[in-house]
Amino acid sequence: MTKIKDFIGRYQLSHLLILAALLLVVMPLAMDIFRLNLVGKYLTYAFVALGLVLCWGYGGILSLGQGVFFGLGGYCMAMFLKLEASSPEHTAIQSTPGIPDFMDWNQLTALPWFWEPFHSFGFTLLAVVIVPALFAFIIGVAMFKRRVSGVYFAIITQAIAAILTILIIGQQGYTGGVNGITDLRTLHGWDIRTDSAKYILYFINAFLLIGCLFAARYIIKSKLGRLLVAMREREDRVRFSGYDVSSFKIFIYCIAAVFSAIGGAMFTLQVGFMSPSFVGIVPSIEMVIFCAVGGRLSILGAVYGTLLVNWAKTSFSESFPELWLFAMGALFIGVVMAFPNGLAGLYQSYVEPRLQRFKKTAEPLAPESETEVLTPEEIKPKQHAKDTESAAGEYSHAGN
Amino acid sequence: MHSKSQPFSGTRRRRFLQNLLAVPAAIMLANASLTAHADSANTTGLAVTDKTVTVGILHSVTGTMAISETGSVQAEKLAIEQINAMGGVLGRKIEYIQEDGASDWPTFAEKSKKLLIKDKTAAVFGCWTSASRKAVLPIFEQYNGMLYYPTFYEGLEQSPNVIYTGQEATQQILAGIDWVVKEKGAKSFFLLGSDYIWPRTSNKIARKHIEKLGLKVSGEEYYPLGHTQFNSVINKIKLKKPDVIFASVVGGSNVAFYKQLKAAGIDMTKEKPLVLTISVTEDEILGIGGENIEGAYASMKYFQSLTNDNNKNFVKAFKERWGKDIVIGDVTQAAYLGPWLWKAAVEKAGSFDIDKVRAASPGIELKTAPEGYVRVHENHHLWSKTRIGNAQADGQYKIVYETKDLIEPDPFPAGYK
């Protein structure tokens, strides 16, 4: 019970509820469906930013290739939807009816084997989660077991993003190439392009995001979260304390991948197509920027940061179609120069103290800060030694 | 969950979640009734007032495609200004809302949605790459918009919501190949392109036609977009000695390709092999440099050097508006046709209503087109002539051939029907 109390402390719950109310009530009421659909699209990026808060902010693993997982999740969903949109009746004009149009343009005459299972929705949902997790696991094992970290890891993830983009573009008969997989229509006969479908998808998306926020909070508050911070600050000390550092890193990297993939799948559903332009280096770095603007130690900041940057992007580009990129650049430089801890840092240093002064009489206990940063000193080694077996056993092979 | 003293114990939490779920449903109902009411106010549902009509311009003015698409934006703005100077369309001045696709296909999709749903534009002039068109196509079909698409493209498409003002692949390719075979006695071809749908489809059509003529394709190669190392394929070309290099390399790769071709000692003015391109307009030559491509041939429907009166006026007006050093390529001219074709269709229909404009579009002709005379086909493509130009050191093409008749657009060539 104390665990639950800790994990949904009343104070953090209020922040989360404010966000939930904003996403579920205020935005849908204040916006028409076009703007709401845009917000839904932005929120899919928030999944990636959230994953980055965990693996970069807490774990200290900077991945510049999260677009890979966003893309994998999105492509899995797109493959299912494309197969449904390519029924023989819809594609009667092709030389081989019943296969996706881009395959026909590329002179394929049969559906490739790896497309076959995507006829099943159940398999697709599993694939959305498992394919990226597996891919992240393989990368993680290959990198972290060899103690590749820091800048080298970041560069390798960038290379992976570049490789996957080239692969997708090069194999256009199988993947749709530069165009991506477009013209997705229905999900089990349910037209995903209608306004009502967009509302429903928006709410599914928002609920999933809030679910992921809870999961992320749980991880941060658990022993794993403390270990991650310890690893970020002094990796060798954690290793010498008997923990298998690489397994923790692999785990958190996989979690970040799964979050990104869920975002990707929801993106495909809401926007109606998937293209390699989400897989490459540029979008991956952009997602790191969302996370940085929000504050890389704040899971709620990740959501607000993503919303802010994308809202700025859309409104700048609508008002100044030829100058907006400069405005975006100025925004990023401004954020990094003026408040390196992002929106969350801004909130902590300016808004929170005032709120607390205001609430002091009502709440005698100082509430825990939203973006608590633990130093290794705060983790009492004694207490840990006792729990090593259980904690390590839960997330990894037992400590060596 | 064995403690009932928690603020969020089982039943309360469940009830809370149920309430949470009820909110979206209520909001959906509220919004649905609101929008239904707003829509019934305007008969066409479009941004048309007694004095103005609003259209959209959707191109990349930032990112890698900006260099190509800027010309289209300028041409469309020029056409709109000229139409307004003549009194507008159905007595209304055209106002435009410009959006930036940022060379990014999802952004194109987002902006096209905005232009159709929020701005309710009566027509949109825009897109350049096939990928951007494919990204916006479902949106135009869903919200019943009208897109005027200016680029020469691969065909295999015919949407009720798009008017294709550039050439589809067969119009551009067949005449070009026929010409090199007849005039230059070409027997063998090497097909080379960037790796995406347009070059692949173009080369497929080219290969079919070449083989039908009983001639030989000695090689077919593709390189990723943005590729800059063509030395290995140039060596291959030197070994195979084709009569014609049929090139559909696009964008920045062109600069590397033609420079390396020249550096490898292939003098294009000697025409051994002869270079026939379907992707290098005057705009691209600006980047490549006229001296690097001198002697190559291009097969397209428009060159800036056309000498008819329409074109003289167009080039003069364009330079007055956008600067005297500017060059005008095939796509720029096709983009210029968009607003004029739309105006003609609206006037024929007597309405801005999309369905009426669509019904009126086939058969619309434009005698004032810079390229001469064009007519809209039933299949929403244009009847047009194809010309062969010979690249000059000054960056212009000298026109050496022009088809006698207008070529019928055939977006689904045999094998696809």
The SS3 call for residue A70 is helix
* CATH code for position B360: 3.40.50.2300
> Could you say which of B30, B61, B139 has the minimum Cβ distance to residue A322?
B61
Cβ within 8 Å of residue B281, ≥6 positions away: B298, B300, B329, B330, B331, B332
Cβ-based contacts of B101 with chain A (< 8 Å): none
B19 and chain A in contact, CB less than 8 A? no
Candidates B69, B134, B196: best to mutate against A (most CBs of A within 10 A) is B134
d(CA A8, CA B218): 70
- Sorted by where each begins, the domain ranges of chain A are 2-395
Say yes or no: ipTM exceeds 0.85: no
CA distances from A199 to B18, B224, B353 (A): 18, 39, 28
Contacts of B44 (CB under 8 A, 6+ apart): B122, B351, B352, B353, B354
SS3 A335: helix
Nearest to A169 among B111, B201, B224 (CB): B224
Chain A residue numbers touching B28 (CB-CB < 8 A): 28, 196, 199-200
| A315 touches B at CB < 8 Å | no
pLDDT of res. B343: 97
Q: Which residues of A touch B201 (CB under 8 A)?
A: 105
Query: How many CB atoms sit inside 10 A of residue B309's CB?
Result: 9
> Does residue B192 sit in the same domain as residue B279?
yes
Whether residue B226 is found in the same domain as residue B287: yes
Amino acid at A276: P
Contact A196 B3 (CB under 8 A): no
Residue B372 within a domain: yes
* Contact: B200, A172; criterion CB under 8 Å: yes
Same domain, yes or no: B230 and B377: no
Mean pLDDT, chain A, whole residue set? 85
> Is the distance from CB of B72 to CB of B331 less than 8 angstroms?
yes
Whole-angstrom Cα Rg for chain A: 22
- Specify the pTM: 0.81
User: Does one domain contain both B242 and B287?
Assistant: yes
Please indicate, yes or no, whether residues B275 and B247 belong to a single structural domain of this protein. yes
**B138 — contact with chain A (CB < 8 Å)?**
yes
Contact B128, B329 (CB under 8 A): no
Instruction: Using an 8 Å CB-CB cutoff, list chain B residues near A193.
Output: 138, 142
Shared domain check, B233 and B100: no
Is the Cβ pair B114, A317 closer than 8 Å? Answer: no
Q: How far is A197 from chain B (nearest CA, A)?
A: 10
Contact criterion met (CB below 8 Å) for B185 and B394: no
Residues in A touching B104 (Cβ below 8 Å): 277
CA distance A66 to A51: 9
A contact test, residue of B5, B197, B220 with most A CBs within 10 A: B197
The pLDDT value recorded for residue A251 is 96
Contact B138 A107 (CB under 8 A): no
Q: Which positions ≥6 away from A127 have C-beta within 8 Å?
A: A76, A117, A118
Other C-beta atoms lying within 10 Å of the C-beta of residue A252: 27
Flag if A177 and B8 touch (Cβ within 8 Å). no
CA distance B365 to B376: 6
| Cis ω for the linkage preceding A276 (within 30 of 0) | no
Q: How far is B185 from chain A (nearest CA, A)?
A: 30
Residue type, A288: V
Q: How far apart are CA A244 and CA B109, in angstroms?
A: 46
Which of 331-390 (A) contact B at CB < 8 A?
A: none
Instruction: Give me the amino acid identity at B31.
Output: N
CA distance B256 to chain A (A): 20
Count: domains in chain B: 2
- Tracing tokens 């135009």 back to the chain, one arrives at B140
- In chain B, the residue whose alpha carbon lies closest to the alpha carbon of A278 is B106
For testing contact with chain A, the best of B29, B100, B144 (most A CBs within 10 A)? B100
CA–CA gap between residue B93 and residue B84 (Å, rounded)? 5
Retrieve residue A179's tokens: 């165009």
Tens digit of pLDDT per residue, chain A (400 long)? 455 455 445 557 788 889 999 999 999 999 988 889 999 999 999 999 999 999 999 999 999 999 999 999 999 999 999 999 998 888 877 778 889 988 987 778 899 999 999 999 999 999 999 999 999 999 999 999 999 988 999 999 999 999 999 899 888 889 988 889 988 989 988 999 888 999 999 999 999 999 999 999 999 989 999 999 999 999 999 999 999 999 999 999 999 999 999 999 999 999 988 999 889 888 898 899 899 899 888 999 999 999 999 998 888 888 887 788 788 888 878 877 888 888 888 888 888 888 878 766 555 544 444 444 444 444 444 444 444 444 433 333 433 3
Q: pLDDT tens-digit profile of A56-66?
A: 999 999 999 99
Which DSSP string do the residues of A207-262 spell out, in sequence order? HHHHHHHHHHHHHHHSHHHHHHHHHHH-HHHHHHTT--HHHHHHHHHHHHHHHHHH
Q: What is the pLDDT of residue A360?
A: 67
Q: Which residues in chain B show pLDDT less than 70? A: 1-43, 415-417
Alpha-helical runs (H) found in B88-129: 105-113
Please tell me the distance from the alpha carbon of residue B290 to that of residue B327, in angstroms, as a whole number. Answer: 12
Per the listing, tokens 């919004």 go with B31
B222 and B367 in a common domain: no
- Statement to judge: residues B188 and B287 lie in one domain: yes
Residue B271 inside a domain? The answer is yes
Residue B332: inside a domain: yes
Q: Domain range holding B289?
A: 169-300+390-402
Structure confidence at residue A94 (pLDDT):
79
Instruction: Give domain status of residue B133, yes or no.
Output: yes
Q: Are B149 and B74 in a shared domain?
A: yes
- Same-domain status, B277 and B320: no
Distances (CA, A) of B80 to B22, B55, B342: 49, 10, 11
